[in-house]
Amino acid sequence: MAKAGAGLRDQPKDENWVEEIERISLASNNLRVLSGQPHCPKLLTMLLEENEELDYISPYFFHNMHAIRVLNLSGTRIKSLPDSVSDLVNLRALLLAYCYDLVDIPSLLKLKELRVLNLKWTAIKELPPGMEGLINLRYLELSFTECLEMVRGGVIEKLSRLEDLAMHGSLWKWEDTNSDGVGGISEIIGLRRLLNLTLIFKDLSAFLTYVRSAHWHVLQNFSFAIGGLKLHVAGNRLEVVLGPCCSSGSDGSSLLLPNNTARFEIDNFNGVVVLSQFLPDASALKTCVINFSSNLKCIFADGKNSLLSSIETLELNYLPKFKALSNCAMPNGAFACLKVLRISHCDKLRTVFSLESMQNLQNLEEVFVDSCGQIVEIITGKGKHCGVLPKLKFLRISSCPKLKALFSSHMLQGLEMLEQIIVYYCEGMEQMIAEEEEEGKKEEDGHDDGTCAIESNDVTGKAIALPMLRSLSLTLPKLKCISNRVLICNSLQSIKLESCVQLKNLPLSVENASAAPVEKAAQAETIKGGRFSPSQLRSAGSHITAERKNCQMPKNSVELYFNARYEL
């Protein structure tokens, strides 16, 4: 009987429930009640999921369905499961996920053949009675059981064939030892067939007891959270998330992780000052995310440091005391694999990198910096350093009001792989690419009004090539000059300027621009001079006009967007 999605509000009539029927699908209907006692002794599968109005099933509804193997009631509004489920001795899968009101489940002691039990997003307060009898259970899903107050001692350890246990988002947190009839972490350690495990530990003591047991060696995937009432982990990755919790059981200065941990996150845990000293063994770590850690000051400091050489992505968010990646010479090999760096809301950070650290960041590809109110430099230090960040492709800087410039011109020469530059709302930035003082006097073609000298032959001779740059996007109300030098950008496809009302020219040279559509321009301001000749560009709204002088572009198109009408 297949009537899925048929809009049924009432269950099929009695004549449809025949003895020979083996499969019934009434999923995705509007059933409200299942009543009676249908006689279906050969029924193997019953699919009732996504009947969002179904809130009652009569106690004996399943009494004559002893052969049933799969019962799916997911996404219904039932508050209790009928007692007749207790006698479904051939049941292999009982699926009750997203039954948000489900509280009462009858004894499961007789369901010896049950392999899969899904109670995700139910309202149960404790594990169903008789669970210790589920000797063939392979998969137990208890994620987001936000009312689960207790796991009785001696239950989980009896599930000796369990392979998957998921409890992320659950109210229940595992403690170090069994006490008062409550299960402890030793029950998990005893499950030798587990392959995938997601748990929340009450504190560091319980977590360290588990790590020292080496049980995690048998796992293919794990996601562990420590403390934190609302702390959730994603599952299916080698992940540890440290939230607000008691640090008892730890020496307070370091944390022992499973040595195959691939992702580590700190969220509202304040016991870290120097990250590399807090993680003495992180040899497999690929991603590290630190959020709301009020005492973190730096990643590296004087003393014994873990090199964190395997990390590919580092995120640092809302760290009020964070001052630098390193407050000493960065150890050789540190951050050797780092590709992505994201920093936001670190209000004591003044510079992102030092020139001395560049040798450690040869693989860095993406940099994001947002809302760091004290940053004055991206890279601190002076000198001619080509190859500073040789693999950097993506740079996004936003809401850093004290930042005066992105780089010096010499540093920019080392960024030959740069593909995209985005700079938003850095109110103090008047010149995007600065000249270093020791490079000599400024060009003599008029800097009093903030314009760039771009037409003299000697400046063109000092042009900087950005051969891979495809996109430039600027929202900088005080920007007067992009660069004193011509920037040769032969791959450029998109320029977006918003609120750049003081910008007087575009010192860009494009010799082989590929055709691209143009966004429609909006209103009014004037730019004069520059290397672009928009008479050779397509404009959807015909808002761009220009003189044909100093043109170094062929008759191809570059996408342009302005928040104003520009005349070059």
**pLDDT tens profile 127-164:** 999 999 999 999 999 999 999 999 999 999 999 999 99
Return the top range by mean pLDDT from 135-144, 461-470, 549-558: 135-144
In the prediction, which pLDDT does 219 show? Answer: 94
Residues 525 and 536: their CA atoms lie apart, in Å, by 20
Residues 190 and 174: their CA atoms lie apart, in Å, by 14
The beta strands (E) that lie in 232-387 are given as: 239-242, 263-267, 287-291, 298-300, 313-317, 324-326, 340-344, 351-354, 366-370, 377-380
**396 CB burial (10 A radius; 0-12, 13-18, 19+):** middle
Given a cut of 80, whether residue 452 has pLDDT beyond it is: no
Give residue 132's Cα distance to chain centre.
37
Contact (CB, 8 A) for 403 and 379: no
The beta strands (E) that lie in 371-462 are given as: 377-380, 394-398, 407-408, 420-424, 433-434
The encoded tokens of residue 47 equal 């699919």
Given a cut of 60, whether residue 405 has pLDDT beyond it is: yes
Which pLDDT tens digit goes with each residue over 350-379? 999 988 888 889 999 999 999 999 999 998
Distances (CA, A) of 332 to 273, 300, 327, 356, 357: 21, 12, 14, 11, 9
Average pLDDT, integer, range 307-322: 95
Contact (CB, 8 A) for 49 and 73: yes
Mean pLDDT of the chain: 83
Residues 240 and 288: their CA atoms lie apart, in Å, by 10
The encoded tokens of residue 388 equal 């500073």
Instruction: Return the SS3 of 85.
Output: helix
Contact (CB, 8 A) for 505 and 534: no
Contact (CB, 8 A) for 39 and 17: yes
The least confident of 142-146, 201-205, 543-547 is 543-547
Q: Tell me, what amino acid is at 40?
A: C
In the prediction, which pLDDT does 418 show? Answer: 96
Q: Which residue has the higher pLDDT, 362 or 561?
A: 362
Contact partners, residue 243, CB within 8 Å, separation at least 6: 225, 226, 227, 228, 231, 267, 268, 269
Residues 261 and 282: their CA atoms lie apart, in Å, by 7
Which pLDDT tens digit goes with each residue over 420-433? 999 999 999 999 99
Average pLDDT, integer, range 79-95: 96
The encoded tokens of residue 104 equal 């009462």
Given a cut of 50, whether residue 539 has pLDDT beyond it is: no
Residues 26 and 57: their CA atoms lie apart, in Å, by 14
Given a cut of 80, whether residue 182 has pLDDT beyond it is: yes
Instruction: Return the SS3 of 309.
Output: coil
Residues 405 and 397: their CA atoms lie apart, in Å, by 11
In the prediction, which pLDDT does 104 show? Answer: 96
Residues 257 and 48: their CA atoms lie apart, in Å, by 43
Contact partners, residue 309, CB within 8 Å, separation at least 6: 283, 333, 334, 335, 336, 337
Q: Torsion angle of alpha carbons 250, 253, 257, 262, nearest 10°?
A: 150
In the prediction, which pLDDT does 2 show? Answer: 85
Q: Which residue has the higher pLDDT, 85 or 330?
A: 85
